Amino acid sequence: MPTHDAESGSVSPRPKASDELRQIALEQFAAVGFAGASLQQIADEAGYSKSSVLYHYANKEALLEAAIGPAIDRLGALLQRYIDRGSSLEARTLFVEEFIDFLLEHRLEVYTFVNQGHSLRGIPVIDRANAFIVTLSHTVCDDNASTVEKMRFGVALGGATYSLVAGMDFLDADSLGPAEEVRAALIQLVGELLAPLALPA
């Protein structure tokens, strides 16, 4: 009996419509881009009408805000904690670990704004996210660093998000082991990339 509703548990009580729509919108935004994703297709995929989408979310931008906003806020909090903790090598190591966990939990959100942060400038939630990334880059490595040092951050960020979302295709999807191994691998690789960086002033 796969369809009983009340919250007895286990057997797929249909989730709230707004949540379904938000999740599917997120997948579409990550897959075909914000501009390329249409409200109609999001509605179809979720089994609702386009009007229903616009009932739950005032417009397309509000849907984007709902899809990635909470993750952006969590990133902001994460970053603030890191800054408050002061710059030490242990603090940075801990932050890398926390950031990878954040990335694993919000891959689609991060991938979406990391790869479209430029073209979507002007949308509030995107501007918020971009500001965080700038802060993060200046926190992990200050201005007068060498070219190769400055690029370590970009390669780590882009490499991690890419290999978690887009790279899953030709990386034989899940042939690369359980989630725990992926986590450990990312922590190691990002750690390797950032290790040679001098602590900022």
Residues contributing to the site for a second copy (CB under 8 A): 31-37, 114-119, 130, 133-134, 137, 143, 146-148, 150-163, 166-167, 169-172, 175-177, 181-182, 184-186, 188-189, 192-193
- Between 27 and 98, CB nearer to DNA: 27
Q: Which does 93 bind (CB under 5 to 8 A by kind): DNA, a second copy, none?
A: none
- Between 17 and 185, CB nearer to a second copy: 185
Q: Which does 55 bind (CB under 5 to 8 A by kind): DNA, a second copy, none?
A: DNA
Which candidate, 107, 112, 111, 77, places its Cα nearest to that of 95? 77
Indicate the SS3 state at residue 67: helix
Provide the token pair at 43.
């509605």
At which residue do the structure tokens 């709230």 appear?
Answer: 16
Rounded CA gap, 34 and 129, in Å? 15
- Between 62 and 182, CB nearer to DNA: 62
- The b-or-e profile of 71-96 (16+ CB within 10 A means b, else e) is bbeebbebbeebeeeebeeebbeebb
To the nearest whole angstrom, how small is the minimum distance from the Cβ of residue 41 to DNA?
5
Q: Which does 198 bind (CB under 5 to 8 A by kind): a second copy, DNA, none?
A: none
To the nearest whole angstrom, how small is the minimum distance from the Cβ of residue 158 to DNA?
27
Indicate the SS3 state at residue 176: coil
Q: Which does 61 bind (CB under 5 to 8 A by kind): a second copy, DNA, none?
A: DNA
Provide the token pair at 190.
């990002």
